[in-house]
């Protein structure tokens, strides 16, 4: 019964009833339902001072090699936060620590008031059901169609009837502009499309926290802009908190509320996009403007150049 109701609602939305779905009709974005309405509210509406994620004095080492040293961060509800830094600076490790895939050698990570590294397997899985993770290249299940990929979590974690799952999947795919691809296999999608399908799958269960690992890597400028806009729009629509691990400065400055820069395992700079753009800190300046040399040296540490070339000193 619920499924039928839902189907009727969806068909009404797609036919564009001007009275009941005034938001969709007025803006012309063809976004159905609540999602369109919510995306029109000012960003500050969603930004609360309540912290969703708190990272306190986190240290992490692989064997005896320190990767992260005394990291402190706070992610407020409704915000989009970027964690930036050069390759190998420890940002992906931090990403995996937040997801509970790694355990810090020291310090705490609290999500919605719960220290995730003190949770047992059952508790961790319960927490992960409230989280969405977008992996670097989408990590779509290659043996399932686009539709089944997006429906995956709904089938695994809910008892929703298949009719309702159908409607929800179509709405999620519609929100990333790929409703027409539902019957395709991941191998038939372009890189940008695969990333957008993965985005739809990530928000399938309306998570409170969304983690993005290099969501802009390897995308053409159009796909990059579409993915960036989708991240912001979905965050606003769901009232979620998003953490974007990336080194794409220009795209991130457009969509995020706050930026942390990590270098060599420590936070070297942080601030709003405007503060970061105006910053005269050498590291931030080098990173934002893509300078070849600076605090991050161009040359890997090596012995004397003349000595390597066999030239007598």
Partner 1 sequence: MPFIQSVQQIGHRTVNGIWRLGVVSRFFLLILLNSGASFRRFQLTLRELFFTGVMSLIIILVAGLFVGIVLGLQGYETLKSYGSESALGTLVALSLVRELGPVLAALLFASRAGSAMTAEIGLMKATEQLAAMEMMAVSPIARVVAPRFWAGVISMPLLAAMFSAMGVFGGYLVGVVFIGVDEGSFWSQMQGAVDFQHDILNGALKSLVFGIAVTVIALFEGFDAPPTAEGVSGATTRTVVQSSLAILLLDVVLTAFMFRGI
Nearer to partner 1, 213 or 257 (CB): 213
Task: Report, in Å, the least distance between residue 294 CB and partner 1.
Answer: 32
Task: Report, in Å, the least distance between residue 234 CB and partner 1.
Answer: 17
- As given in the structure block, the two tokens for residue 71 are 């990291």
Task: Report, in Å, the least distance between residue 97 CB and partner 1.
Answer: 13
Task: Report, in Å, the least distance between residue 153 CB and partner 1.
Answer: 5
Task: Report, in Å, the least distance between residue 136 CB and partner 1.
Answer: 7
Nearer to partner 1, 136 or 225 (CB): 136
Q: What is the 3-state secondary structure (H, E, C) of the chain?
A: CHHHHHHHHHHHHHHCCCCCCHHHHHHCCCCCHHHHHHHCCCHHHCCCCCEEEEEEEEEEEECCEEEEEEEEEEEECCCEEEEECCCCCCHHHHHHHHCCCCCCCEEEEEECCEEHHHCCHHHHHHHHCCEEEECCCCCCCCCCCHHHHHHHHHHHHCCCCHHHHHHHHHHHHHHCCCHHHCCCCHHHCCHHHHHHHHHHHHCCCCCCEEEEECCCCCCCHHHHHHHHHHHHHHHHHHCCEEEEEECCHHHHHHHCCEEEEEECCEEEEEECHHHHHHCCCHHHHHHHHCCCCCCCCCCCCCCCHHHHHCCCC
Q: Which of 115, 96, 102, 111 is nearest to 53 (CA)?
A: 111
Contact positions vs partner 1 (CB under 8 A) = 99, 101, 124-126, 128-129, 131, 133, 135-137, 139-143, 152-153, 156-157
Nearer to partner 1, 47 or 139 (CB): 139
Q: Could you tell me whether strands 114-115 and 241-246 are parallel, antiparallel, or unpaired per DSSP bridges?
A: unpaired
- As given in the structure block, the two tokens for residue 201 are 């799958």
Q: Could you tell me whether strands 266-271 and 258-263 are parallel, antiparallel, or unpaired per DSSP bridges?
A: antiparallel
Task: Report, in Å, the least distance between residue 99 CB and partner 1.
Answer: 6
Nearer to partner 1, 36 or 131 (CB): 131
Number of C-alpha atoms within 13 angstroms, CB side, residue 29? 18
Task: Report, in Å, the least distance between residue 199 CB and partner 1.
Answer: 13
Nearer to partner 1, 124 or 184 (CB): 124
Nearer to partner 1, 63 or 143 (CB): 143
Task: Report, in Å, the least distance between residue 187 CB and partner 1.
Answer: 12
Nearer to partner 1, 20 or 157 (CB): 157
Nearer to partner 1, 198 or 276 (CB): 198
């Amino acid at each position: 019964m619920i499924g039928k109701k839902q189907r009727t609602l969806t068909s009404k939305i797609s036919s564009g009833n001007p009275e009941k779905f005034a938001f969709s009709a007025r803006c012309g974005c063809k976004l159905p339902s609540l999602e369109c309405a919510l995306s029109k509210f000012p960003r500050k509406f969603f930004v609360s001072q309540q912290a969703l994620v708190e990272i306190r004095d986190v240290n992490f080492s692989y064997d005896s090699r320190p990767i992260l040293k005394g990291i402190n961060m706070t992610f407020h509800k409704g915000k989009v936060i970027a964690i930036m830094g050069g390759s190998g600076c420890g940002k992906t490790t931090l990403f995996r620590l937040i997801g509970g895939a790694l355990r810090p050698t020291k310090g705490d990570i609290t999500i919605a008031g719960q220290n995730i590294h003190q949770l047992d397997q059952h508790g961790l899985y319960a927490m992960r059901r409230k989280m969405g993770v977008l992996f670097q290249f989408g990590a779509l299940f290659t043996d399932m169609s686009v539709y089944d990929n997006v429906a995956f979590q709904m089938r695994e974690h809910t008892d929703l009837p298949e009719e309702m799952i159908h409607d929800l999947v179509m709405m999620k795919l519609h929100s990333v502009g790929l409703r027409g691809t539902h019957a395709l296999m991941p191998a038939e999608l372009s890189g940008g499309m695969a990333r957008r399908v993965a985005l739809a799958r990530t928000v399938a269960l309306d998570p409170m926290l969304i983690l993005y690992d290099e969501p802009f890597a390897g995308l053409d400028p159009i796909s990059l802009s579409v993915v960036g806009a989708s991240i912001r729009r979905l965050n606003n629509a769901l009232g979620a908190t998003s953490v974007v691990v990336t080194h794409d400065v220009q795209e991130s400055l457009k969509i995020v509320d706050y930026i942390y820069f990590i270098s060599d395992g420590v936070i070297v700079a942080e601030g709003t996009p405007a503060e970061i753009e105006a910053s005269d800190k050498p590291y931030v300046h080098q990173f934002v403007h893509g300078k070849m040399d600076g605090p991050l040296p161009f040359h890997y540490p090596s012995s004397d150049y003349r000595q390597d070339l066999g030239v007598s000193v």
